[in-house]
Amino acid sequence: MENKYTFEAHGIIWRVMYDHTIGVILLEMRDGEQKEVSFAALELKTGEVLWEGLQLDENWWVSMAGVKNGFLYFSEFDQNDAIPKVKKLQKLNIREAVLVEDHEDDPAQLRSAEAFELPVVYPVESEHYATLRTFLKQMDHDVAESDIHYYETEDQIIFVFIERKNSVLQRKLLICSRKGEVLFQEVIDTDIRGQIMDSFFMVDNMLLYIKEKEIWCGLSLTALNN
């Protein structure tokens, strides 16, 4: 098994959801110039595209609302309101990419990314920030003063931090073994202003992240060990 897959989105990846009952990632992609939103579904483990470019009759004022038991729900908004309100929910069979009208009541509670884990965020003023920054500097990274995102597995240590490169800030992903050996590194955003909230997600030993706003990436940490 290859350790990494990528998917080039149709616009900026605006929202990500995950249905753990079927192991599928859902992406909401927005093209601001065309004022169009489309959706895609990928297998979590392999990145196999189940479908992409899916659009609804309303092609802008609609967004993913949540998932439940193999179905994806969309919220369509009333654009005539000063503060757009949900006009209706639509239901899609994820595997079949077919809208379903079954006259069942909408779920009282929807999930967006159940089972996702997020990194620990260490702000500049936090107790362990200096230790982490020193470790990264010892590995020849010119670390800018900004939050460091950190996650540990049984075998790896994962960092996302801001690095200076030729006077420009870039976001860097670094994965090390417990012995400090570099297993994987990649610049995931260039020419940035600062750190973001959720730089990556973890689920079922897969590291998931968005590169340059429009490229979805999945990295198998299991394969990384082999």
Residues of the chain short of pLDDT 50, as ranges, are 1
Distance in angstroms (rounded) separating the CA atoms of residues 211 and 208:
10
pLDDT at 2: 63
Q: Say which residues have a Cβ less than 8 Å from residue 8's Cβ, sequence separation at least 6.
A: 214, 215
Instruction: Judge if pTM exceeds 0.75.
Output: yes
What is the per-residue pLDDT across 26-55, written as a single tens digit (0 to 9) for each?
A: 999 999 899 999 999 999 999 999 999 999
pLDDT (tens digit per residue) in 80-108: 666 666 667 899 999 999 999 877 766 66
In the chain the domains, ranked by start, together with CATH numbers, are 7-100 (2.40.10.480), 120-199 (no CATH)
